[in-house]
Amino acid sequence: MAVQGTATPTPTANDTGESLLDLFTVLQRSLDQLVATQGRLVATLILLTVLLLSVVVVPAVLSRLRSVASARTGDWLQLMADYTPTTIRGVFLRIAQFSMVVLVVVSFLIVWGVLDIVQTVGPYLNGSDRSVLATIQTVVLVMLAFVLSDQMQRWIGRFSQAVTGFTEHQEEILLRLGQVTVFVTIGATIFAVWGIDLSGLLVGAGFLGIVVGLAARQTLGSLIAGFVLMFSRPFTIGDWVLVGDQEGIVTDITIFNTRLENFDGEFVIIPNDRVSDRAVTNRSRKGLLRLTVDIGVDYDTDIDRAMDLAREAMADIEHVVDSPTPDVVPKDFGDSAVVMELRFWIDHPTPPRKWRAISAVVRGVKATFDEEDISIPFPQRTLSNRVDAADEESLQGSVEMRPDGDG
């Protein structure tokens, strides 16, 4: 005996999509009734509130979910975190925030009548359009962009530690360039996924680039020179440099200009194209700086003895380094002295250290010469009164020509 019954029909995906589509149609009619600007402003305010809350609430919710999941499957999550290039929480947080921003923007456009909710959501519900696949590909590409950006930061950090002399400033510039390259490439790929033709945009960008290049040649020159300076590294922040006729300590290097602080406390901004066109003297690169002081001794002085005493005096000075050793070189025959050049080195050269060392050398050598009775001659002038000399000659002549009283 056969048992007959009625089977409960199972709703298909198309039936579910049509039901949701009817729901969105009713919602669209409700939105069409928001003709008044006040109603749309209220809806916009609500959307902005949702967006602000998503920035705060989404990280908090994900953090809570992570703590709950860690309590139950902590070992598995830790194992995944060790072998995953980017933290799972960071990826999902950024994807969730990105999705909320897109949702709020689309809702904003629908509220103000720019988009039709049925035409926007319909292709996703009936499944007959490639929009669903394009959306999935877009989400995957955005995740890939964040993963590559995070990994790039790690790679550059390891590279900077392995390479000697790679500064934090160069690391930051390289990271920003890499991130811009990644996001621009991913963005172009997303446009291609959605079938958006960028040829017209590229042609317009080409003409715009020509116009901007002609109008801002100097700015672009400074920009290119800035990248050259950052990677050729003729100087770094904190170096004591001489650029043309400007001398000071480098305080900042941007892609457009270089900033110095001179010894008067003034800040000097030099465009990078001018820096690249001038001779640059870096007094800090070697870590040592040689200084010279001229001194003269009397022609009657034993030159070799004076040179030995000057070397000993400089060797005892605290600000002068032992290697390279101080030296003295006879330099010139002056009007009243034999001129010698005192040569000595200082480490970690800065303007204050330079002047302290010069002052100490002058004082030390002068004190040593005074103790050893070595005179440092100076120009002298002997003044004579020509009238007095003529009177004296006349007086002597009159005495010789005076007649004798006996004669």
Say which residue the tokens 């010789």 belong to.
400
Sign of CA dihedral 313, 316, 318, 323: positive
Helix axes 131-162, 168-193, angle to 10 degrees: 160
pLDDT at 29 (0 to 100):
55
Question: Would you say how long the chain is, in residues?
Answer: 407
Alpha-carbon distance values, 339 to 18, 241, 354, 393 (Å): 103, 30, 22, 41
Contact status, residue 353 vs residue 287, Cβ threshold 8 Å: no
Main-chain phi, psi angles of 177, to 5 degrees = -65, -40
Sign of CA dihedral 151, 154, 158, 164: positive
Contact status, residue 306 vs residue 369, Cβ threshold 8 Å: yes
The CATH number of the structural domain formed by 197-283 is 2.30.30.60
DSSP state, 394?
A: H
Say which residue the tokens 């996924």 belong to.
193
End-to-end CA distance of the chain: 196
pLDDT at 315 (0 to 100):
92
Alpha-carbon distance values, 62 to 96, 138, 141, 319 (Å): 9, 22, 21, 60
The CATH number of the structural domain formed by 288-371 is 3.30.70.100
Token output for 182: 């990644």
Say which residue the tokens 């959605």 belong to.
194
**Are 197-283 and 288-371 equal in CATH topology?**
no
Closest CA to 274 of 230, 252, 244: 244
Question: What whole-number distance in Å separates Cα of residue 29 and Cα of residue 31?
Answer: 5
Token output for 260: 């110095």
Question: What whole-number distance in Å separates Cα of residue 197 and Cα of residue 237?
Answer: 45
Helix H, strand E, coil C: the string for 128-158 is: CCCHHHHHHHHHHHHHHHHHHHHHHHHHHHH
Question: What whole-number distance in Å separates Cα of residue 63 and Cα of residue 45?
Answer: 27
Question: What whole-number distance in Å separates Cα of residue 210 and Cα of residue 222?
Answer: 17
Contact status, residue 250 vs residue 282, Cβ threshold 8 Å: no
Question: What whole-number distance in Å separates Cα of residue 227 and Cα of residue 163?
Answer: 19
Q: How do the pLDDT tens digits run along the chain, 407 residues long?
A: 444 544 445 444 445 445 544 555 555 555 555 545 556 666 667 667 766 766 666 667 766 766 666 555 555 555 555 545 455 556 666 666 667 777 776 666 666 655 555 455 555 545 545 666 777 788 788 878 878 887 888 888 888 788 776 777 677 778 878 888 888 888 888 878 777 666 666 666 676 677 766 666 777 777 777 777 777 788 888 899 999 889 999 998 887 889 999 988 899 999 888 888 888 999 998 889 999 999 999 998 899 999 999 999 999 999 899 989 999 999 989 888 999 999 999 999 988 899 999 999 999 999 999 999 898 887 766 565 655 555 555 545 554 555 554 44
Question: What whole-number distance in Å separates Cα of residue 387 and Cα of residue 121?
Answer: 119
| Domains of the chain, residue spans | 15-195, 197-283, 288-371
pLDDT at 343 (0 to 100):
95
Question: What is the signed CA dihedral for 248, 254, 257, 259, rounded to 10 degrees?
Answer: -20
Closest CA to 58 of 81, 104, 84, 89: 89
DSSP state, 252?
A: E
Question: What whole-number distance in Å separates Cα of residue 86 and Cα of residue 341?
Answer: 63
Question: What whole-number distance in Å separates Cα of residue 44 and Cα of residue 27?
Answer: 16
Contact status, residue 218 vs residue 269, Cβ threshold 8 Å: no
Token output for 156: 């550059």
Collect all residues with Cβ–Cβ distance below 8 Å to 72 and sequence separation of at least 6: none
Question: What whole-number distance in Å separates Cα of residue 32 and Cα of residue 111?
Answer: 8
pLDDT at 240 (0 to 100):
93
Residue 141, burial from CB neighbour count under 10 angstroms (0-12, 13-18, 19+)? middle
Sign of CA dihedral 243, 246, 251, 255: negative
Contact status, residue 303 vs residue 297, Cβ threshold 8 Å: yes
